[in-house]
Structure 1
Amino acid sequence: MSSFFENDSPSNLTEYSVSELSGSIKRTVENAFDQVRVRGEISGYRGPHSSGHAYFSLKDDRSRIDAVIWKGTFSKLKFRPEEGMEVIATGKVTTFPGSSKYQIVIESLEPAGAGALMALLEERKRKLGAEGLFDAERKRRLPFMPKVIGVVTSPTGAVIRDILHRISDRFPVHVLVWPVKVQGEGSGDEVANAIRGFNEFAPGGPIPRPDVLIVARGGGSLEDLWSFNDEAVVRAAAASEIPLISAVGHETDWTLIDYAADVRAPTPTGAAEMAVPVKAELEAQLASLAARLQGGVGRQMDQRRQAVRALLRALPSLDQILALPRRRFDEAAAGLGRGLELNTLNKRRSFERTASQLRPDILSNRIAERRQQLNERMIRAERTIERMLDRSRARIERADAVFATLPSRLEAQTGRARDRLGNLVRHADTAIRHQLTRARSELTAQERILQSLSYKNVLKRGYAVVRDENDRPVSLAAALSTGTAISIEFADGRIGAVTGDDATPPSSSTPSSGASPSKRRAAKPVEPAAPPKQGSLF
């Protein structure tokens, strides 16, 4: 057989290593597909990896290809990829030699027509609308004259300059600008974080809390404004406790934040006009109202003055008002003397009637009647006290009789208790003896079981227990290393030993008992160890 294979002629094919073959395939694929455009549906997208790269697949109804977007390219995309979105990817095809896979490295990504983005926008609009984020009942009225206005926009564009200029012309107030990106990757998150950040300002804090918010951006295409269709931005706008004005794009541009905001402005300049009134108009209106108020007060005073004069003419004179009281006073003064005389006469007659009832004989009779009533009450009280004393005396006599018989009754009760205690002591002695007998029998039975289960009986049949340096039983030879001190326990005691590295059993021709005393290790007696716990062979 060996000569047959030696004479076999070698193949004329070139021999490659796996790495060489993989590298050659990689170069061939990259040269053949250096720049391609692929249309497909995004599948398996889970967002950017912790490294910043994005890994997913592009598929159609029959095939699938792996795709990757590197971190630098991902940050420059105009819109964020989403699961199920149909896109057109531009890039190059390459292989991954480590697992023999090929993939497309995407350099640019665009939706497969505006229809795909509009379909995605409508789907997201229906979803958020079903949650009630666009309901009119949730929208709040804007404050008429805010003191602080918060603006969420790019700090370098013309939008912020237009807003500041318009607010300064109409009604200068304190403006806080939260700079954000308004286009590209991460812009949606920045806008949402800015809205939530303004809402987290505490009233009266070091940074004043805005009374109204403006989210603004200039005009652009659907892709340019796509960040304001982000679900996070819409939810942040709907959850804002501060009234919010959406001013994204031109008047014909509509984004989802426009539906969630409290008010939609056609342009950023229009948002500034909605946020504050015109100071000059307010001053003119205030002056007009002040003039009208002054004129109204003057006319009202004239009318009141005329009414007072008319009332004065209708009032009677002082003599007419005092004529009737004066007549009544004169009549009362004239009748006062006769009234005093009649009153004195009536008092005298009343006194005489009362004095006639205070004769000495009448007083003597009343005193006699009261003395008789007092004597009767004293007699009744004495009788009551005597009855109470009789009842108390009877109770004391009955108590004396009971106390007289008490010693004999106590002696009888003590005797009965002594007899009962003696019976209980005898019963207790008997019960204790029976309990000790049963306990002694159970202990003897347990001792027999312990002796039958003790590992000492196993050692008597020729077995031994090997223990390590810590006096723990060893059940596996792998648990010991060469040169480890061990102890071996037999039925009649222990000996010490040291493990060796020769695991070959001794030859049958060499008697174990005939070894030279110099080559045999002297057995070191070991004190017998305390018996292990019950329930283990060790």
Structure 2
Amino acid sequence: MSELFEDDGPDSGPSNAYDFTVSELSGAVKKTVEGTFGNVRVRGEIGRVSRPRSGHLYLDLKDDRSTLASVIWKGTLARLAHQPEEGMEVVATGRMTTFPGQSKYQLVIERIEPAGMGALMAMLEKRRAALAAEGLFDEDRKRPIPYLPEVIGVVTSPSGAVIRDILHRLRDRFPRKVLVWPVAVQGQACAGQVAAAIEGFNRIEAGGRLPRPDVLIVARGGGSLEDLWGFNEEAVVRAAASSSIPLISAVGHETDTTLIDHAADRRAPTPTAAAEMAVPVRLDLVATLDGQGARLSGGFSRYLSWRSERVRDLSRALPRPERLVESPRQRLDHASHRLPAALSRGVTDRRARLADAAAALRPAGASARVTAARDRLTQADRLRPALTRNAAAQRRTLREKAARLRPDPILHAVTRNCADLGRIWSRLAAAAGALRAERVRHLAALDRTRLTLGPSETLARGFAIVRTGEGKVVTTREAAAEAGALELEFRDGRLPVGGPGAASTGAAMRPAKPARRKTPPPDDDQGSLL
């Protein structure tokens, strides 16, 4: 192939080398790359990671010297056990291909996995540091666990031994209501289901048909780092940190540590220990309450005895009751001696006020008030002429307005407007008829022009239409040369020429269809104005 691109220099003359198109050359390169590298495994560090809205994932695999563009399609990305993250060292399996749109080659990844336990631990530590920097693991965010919750929510697998251990421990210590949210505790679906369960418990409203838990327990048995990886996902950690219900993390055994342990309000070494943290021992609580009740009864008895002694001591310092009422009794006797004189003075004062009030009701005073009222009424009679004049003026104004509203002027105005409307309607009908006639004439002229420029009139002037045997119109000499048979259309029919069927069909002349003339619309009196 290299010989096809040899350059003999500017003076070598024309070359016989094949001219590739850009698409042909890109396709040849694509076949070569895909045929040679159809299945490869590449080890490297993930660099740039891009997640467009299409759902595909674009990333770079790099080492200390080179960078390899890679892509993971949306369907493959949903099946991956570990989601790629920047800085993660992985081993990717896939096939090489090219992208002709940008003249670049890339790796289509079908399977990706961390490059050993060290890579997983490094990624875990990096994620822990990033979440800790956001404050998700701060101690001041953690809430205390209720001492005796009414309802306990458990997020775990319904078929494992963990839920049975939790229920057995709760039954032994202090039976409580338990709500179990079944989830997958390992695998790719684990993180999404656990986060959804925590958020679902928090969305339960208090006082609803389903009781709202007072404390949550996220539990799982022991396992390897890969088995517990779902509880290290960022979605689970954020759901645990944002939970408004206190949360106890019981994932794995004592030596197993996941990121949800840092975000939870309390960490339990085992699921059984989580149940013990959630509720106290009922018998111990009953014994404690009995002891507290006995102490309360003894203390209350001692308090009553002390208060009784205190009352007796204070009663000795009080004076005798007879001495307390001596002074009030003396004041009552003094007031009883002064009461008759005070009543006599009160009656005398009220009799004097009554005499003064009776003086104002004598006949002479009443006559004077009646005379004054009559004088005021006489002055009011002087207003009658003014009121009469005002009423007469209002009547004259009313008669003038009534004269303007007589029916004769209104009827005259209506008659005049009807006559004007008739004249305007006649002028409008005449203008509409003239406009319609003008449009009909213009349409007839256009139809004549159409017939003059149509194919039938052109054929009548000596021209012909050349078609192939399939009926396609031929307009160039090259197309006529490539056609197997031709057919000429004249004014009075078609004539086949050339090809194997020309001799037998030459005499068959097909008359041309006459052009159909468009009948002008009828000229009626109520045509459209347009």
1:473-513 CA-to-partner distances (Å, cap 9, x unmatched) read xxxxxxxxxxxxxxxxxxxxxxxxxxxxx994444999xxx
Q: Aligned letter for 1:262?
A: D
Worse overlay, 250-259 or 235-244: 250-259
Say yes or no: does 1:185 pair with 2:188.
yes
- Counterparts of 1:435 and 1:239, CA distance in 2: 81
CA distance in 2, matches of 1:505, 1:129: 91
- The answer to whether structure 1 residue 39 and structure 2 residue 25 are counterparts is no
Q: Kindly state the Cα deviation for residue 229 of structure 1 after the two structures are TM-superposed.
A: 1.4
Q: Distance in 1 between matches of 2:314 and 2:411?
A: 116
What secondary structure sits across from 2:187 in the alignment? Answer: coil
Q: Which amino acid aligns with 2:451?
A: Y
Shift of 1:214: 0.8
Q: How far off its partner does 1:173 sit?
A: 2.3
Q: CA shift at 1:308, angstroms?
A: 2.8
Aligned partners of 2:231 and 2:260 also within 8 Å: yes
- What is the Cα deviation at residue 227 of structure 1? 0.5
> How do 1:484-499 residues align onto structure 2 when only pairs under 5 Å count?
none
Query: For residues 197 and 438 of structure 2, what CA distance do their matches in structure 1 show?
Result: 80
- 1:224 paired with 2:216, answer no
Secondary structure of the 2:191 match is helix
Counterpart for residue 450 of structure 1: 439
Shift of 1:178: 3.0
How many Å apart are 1:198 and its aligned residue?
2.9
Q: How far 1:172 sits from its partner (Å)?
A: 3.0
Bigger CA radius of gyration? 1
Q: Distance in 2 between matches of 1:163 and 1:258?
A: 18
Kept in 2: contact 1:142–1:243 (CA 8 A)? yes
**Superposition deviation, residue 289 in structure 1:** 1.3
How much does 1:212 deviate?
0.9
User: For each residue in 1:73-120, what CA deviation from the matched residue of structure 2 results, as whole angstroms up to 9, or x when unmatched?
Assistant: 986x754455774312579x799xxxxx9988967x531234433443
Name the SS of the counterpart of 1:39 in structure 2.
strand
- CA distance in 2: counterparts of 1:321 and 1:381, whole angstroms: 69
**Residues in 2 aligned to 1:401 and 1:254: alpha-carbon distance in whole angstroms:** 107
Question: What is the CA-CA distance between 1:184 and the residue it aligns to?
Answer: 1.8
Q: Partners in 2 of 1:509 and 1:205 — Cα distance?
A: 88
Q: Residue 281 of structure 1 aligns with which residue?
A: 284
Contact 1:152 1:180 in 2 (8 A): yes
Q: Give the 3 Å change call, closer, same or farther, for CA 448–257 of structure 1 in structure 2.
A: same
Partner SS state of residue 277, structure 1: coil
State whether structure 2 residue 294 is matched by structure 1 residue 291. yes
CA offset digits 1:421-470 (Å, max 9, x no partner): 99x99998998899789868966874575355x3112335573999xxxx
Instruction: Choose from 270, 282, 287 the match for 1:267.
Output: 270
Q: Name the SS for the 1:88 alignment partner.
A: strand
Over 3 Å counting, the alpha-carbon distance change for 1:530 and 1:213 in structure 2 is: farther
Q: Which residue of 2 aligns with 1:214?
A: 217
The alignment partner of 1:145 has SS state of coil
Matched, 1:110 2:113: yes
TM-score w.r.t. length of structure 2: 0.59
Match of 2:451, SS?
A: coil
The correspondence for 1:463, drawn from 444, 451, 461, is 451
Q: 1:198 to 1:344 in 2, by over 3 A?
A: closer
Aligned-residue RMSD, C-alpha: 5.9
Measure the CA separation in 2 of the matches of 1:154 and 1:509: 85
Return the match for 2:384 from 375, 392, 406. 392
From the superposition, tell whether residues 189 and 530 of structure 1 become closer, same or farther in structure 2 (CA, over 3 Å). Answer: farther
8 A contact 1:69–1:106 mirrored in 2: no
Distance 1:216 1:398 in 2: 101
Kept in 2, the 8 Å contact 1:78–1:183? The answer is: no
**Cα pair distance change 1:293/1:463, threshold 3 Å:** same
The Cα shift of 1:146 comes to: 1.0
Q: Would the aligned equivalents of 2:60 and 2:67 in 1 still touch at CA under 8 Å?
A: no
- SS of corresponding position for 1:241: coil
Give runs of aligned pairs for residues 343-422 of structure 1, distance below 5 A: 371-393=363-385, 396=388
Q: How far apart, CA to CA, are the structure 1 residues paired with 2:34 and 2:415? A: 106
**CA distance in 2: counterparts of 1:133 and 1:74, whole angstroms:** 27
Q: CA deviation at 1:125?
A: 3.8
Equivalents in 2 of 1:130, 1:379: separation in Å?
Answer: 103
In structure 2, the CA distance between the partners of 1:372 and 1:226, relative to structure 1 (3 Å rule), is same
Of 237, 241, 244 in structure 2, the residue corresponding to residue 238 of structure 1 is 241
Q: Distance in 2 between matches of 1:66 and 1:323?
A: 110
Contact residue 57 and residue 74 of structure 2 kept, 8 A: yes
Shift of 1:228: 0.7
Partners in 2 of 1:387 and 1:78 — Cα distance?
Answer: 112
Letter of the aligned partner of 1:209 in structure 2? R
For 1:398 and 1:28, locate their aligned partners in 2 and report how far apart those are by CA, in whole Å. 119
The residue number in structure 2 matching 1:170 is 173
- Work out whether residues 58 and 67 of structure 1, in 8 Å CA contact, stay in contact via their aligned partners in 2: no
**1:215, 1:247 within 8 Å by CA — same for their partners in 2?**
yes
Q: Partner letter of residue 178 of structure 1?
A: W
Distance 2:515 2:343 in 1: 149
The CA distance in 1 between the partners of 2:453 and 2:529, in whole Å, is 16
SS in 2 for 1:245: strand
Count of residue pairs the alignment pairs up: 433
Name the SS for the 2:197 alignment partner.
Answer: helix
TM-score, with length taken from structure 1: 0.59
Q: Which residue of the other structure, out of 148, 152, 161, is the alignment partner of 1:149?
A: 152
Amino acid at match of 2:289: L
Question: How do residues 51-90 of structure 1 correspond to structure 2 at under 5 angstroms?
Answer: 59-60=61-62, 61-63=66-68, 79-81=82-84, 85-89=88-92
Q: d(CA) in 1 for partners of 2:365 and 2:415?
A: 78
> Which residue in the other structure is 1:484 paired with?
none
Secondary structure of 2:446's aligned partner: helix
Q: Are residues 161 and 323 of structure 1, via their aligned partners in 2, closer, same or farther at CA, if it must alter by over 3 Å?
A: same
- How far apart are residue 291 of structure 1 and its match? 1.8
Counterpart secondary structure, 1:274 = helix
Could you tell me which runs of 5 or more consecutive residues in structure 1 were left unpaired when the two chains were aligned.
1-24, 96-100, 467-501, 511-518
Alpha-carbon shift at residue 213 of structure 1 (Å): 0.8
Deviation at residue 398 of structure 1 after TM alignment: 8.5
Alpha carbons 2:447, 2:518 under 8 Å: kept: no
| Gap change, CA 1:133 and 1:391, over 3 Å in 2 | same
Which shifted more, 308-317 or 389-398?
Answer: 389-398
